[in-house]
Amino acid sequence: MKERIKKLREAKEMAALGGGKDKIAREHEKGKLTARERIELLLDSGSFNEFGMLVKYRLGAPGDGIVVGHGTIEGRRVCLFSHDATVFGGSQGYMHGRKLYKIHEMALDMGVPLIGLNDSPGARVVRLEKAGSDDPYRVSDEKHAGVVFFINSRCSGAIPQISAILGNCTGGSVYSPALTDFIFMVDGLSHMCITGPRVIKSVIGEDVSIEELGGAKVHCQLTGVADFRVKNEQECMQGIRRLLSFLPSNWRERPPRIDSGDDPERFTDALGEIVPAQPTKGYDMHRVIKEIVDNGDFIEVKEEFAGEIIVGFARLEGNTVGIIANQPMVRAGCMTVDSSRKQARFIRFCDAFKIPIVLLVDTPGYLPGKAQEHAGIIHHGAKVLYALSEATVPKLAVLMRKVYGGAALGMGILPGFGTDLVFAWPTAEVGAMGAEQAVALFYADDIKQAEKPEEFRAQKVKEYNELYADSLALASQVTYVQDIIEPRETRRCLTRSLQLVKGKKIEPYPKRHGNMPL
């Protein structure tokens, strides 16, 4: 027995080196961590339990380019995989794919989050005369890397799926992360593209670097594919740990409650100074959010993409909430094609995992112009309406200043979208458009013919504001606004309201599924 245990230990020690010390050194020279170093950095110390470590050990390719298993983060169980670039470059062969698929199935069956540390060029390219068991697309087994997208879809909405891109990932190794809930990318290290620069050059003659094609900045700022851009792998693992602290383990559970020590009855006096009364003056909505939520702790999702809307997670009285807020500092807080995609996606995640939604509303409406119309604002804006209408989680809205035109629909202010409680500040305005724009539209000829045009214009603007921009008049005319509150009461109002609506139970209408405008 002792001899066999000795051999087992030696085999595992060798397998832990993956492709060997020389290849590990080359990864370090590139500024990269190895598959197991990443796992050690992410998980609680000593908590990792690996599966399939000795797969292909006798063939000199231990693990077949992937490390899989389970461990804990802050004591909570997770399943994860980490591509091993020292073995076949982390490419996906048959056994690799079986391990990858199996860990997804295990996470789904056990109801725990799935974290992917991706560093793979995709399917393994093999010479034709050697094609066979190493080729993931030439096998009869239905559970392999080529169809991991199927199990990704099964996991979607059932368990949180978090991806980190930690190398040059192409083909199937980017489609799978794209099906997960959140993607982290590291500046200068992470790249995602369907087709690499060499193939692009050979097919269409275009010269492009991998960074220009699919670097972290590209996907966090331009495409919106990724959610978080970080400086290094250490920051990436810390970010994953922090994000997970706001999320439940599966759709049946609620996110863990964390006692922040922040008084739920606390007044937020600074809000009256942060937010100007004039609807056309800008301010940073981040300051508002941090005043309201527990200890100012807010993790923003897609911070660099479609900045005109802010989405992310925070806590109120220790409980996770999803924040959706217009940002007057960017495009005046107008709603756009990109903001609609961002907002709808976030709403659906919150709804899938029982996370209440808080909407902080201050927008002049949808951004006008040919560019937005041709980009499909009708189609993309409809995604938000669908997501809001479908969501059954508690929804609270605070109308801080203005909401004009169709934005009242897109921010869930109007009745009929299932927003449970709507509150308004004394500065609240609801209308088809702002006073200045309405007067210019309806009284253009009268202004020209008036004896004193500017005085006439000012008088009409005043009348419009008294009719549509008076929150007291609003409260007396409609029932969907539950109360007009002082800005300083906002946190207390939200925490008390969440206590009321947290037990809300609404079942979706029975059907196979709807046809969302994707």
Catalytic status, residue 407: yes
Contact 418, 397 (CB under 8 A): no
178's enclosing H/E stretch is: helix 172-178
Angle between helices 435-442 and 453-468 (to 10 degrees): 120
CB burial of 476-487 (b: ≥16 within 10 Å; e: otherwise) equals eeeeebbebbeb
Residues, the chain, total?
A: 518
Of 157, 272, 406, 418, catalytic: 406
The beta strand positions in 306-463, using DSSP E, are 309-316, 319-326, 357-363, 395-404, 421-424, 429-431
Angle between helices 337-352 and 377-390 (to 10 degrees): 20
Catalytic status, residue 167: no
Of 35, 107, 407, 408, catalytic: 407
Of 20, 111, 157, 171, catalytic: 171
* DSSP 3-state of 206: coil
Q: Cα–Cα distance between 193 and 215 in angstroms, integer?
A: 9
455's enclosing H/E stretch is: helix 453-468
Q: Cα–Cα distance between 489 and 494 in angstroms, integer?
A: 9
Contact 413, 361 (CB under 8 A): yes
CB burial of 136-148 (b: ≥16 within 10 Å; e: otherwise) equals beebeeebbbbbb
- Smallest Cα–Cα separation from 63: which of 116, 128, 14, 15? 15
Contact 18, 64 (CB under 8 A): no
CA angle 135, 79, 238 (to 5 degrees): 110
Q: Cα–Cα distance between 84 and 93 in angstroms, integer?
A: 12
Largest CA distance in the chain: 107
Of 89, 93, 172, 307, catalytic: 172
Contact 246, 255 (CB under 8 A): yes
Q: 319-326 and 309-316: which strand pairing?
A: antiparallel
Catalytic status, residue 75: no
Catalytic status, residue 224: no
Q: What is the dihedral of CA 60, 233, 223, 328, to 10 degrees?
A: 170
Q: 49-51 and 66-73: which strand pairing?
A: antiparallel
Which residues carry out catalysis?
Answer: 171-172, 406-407
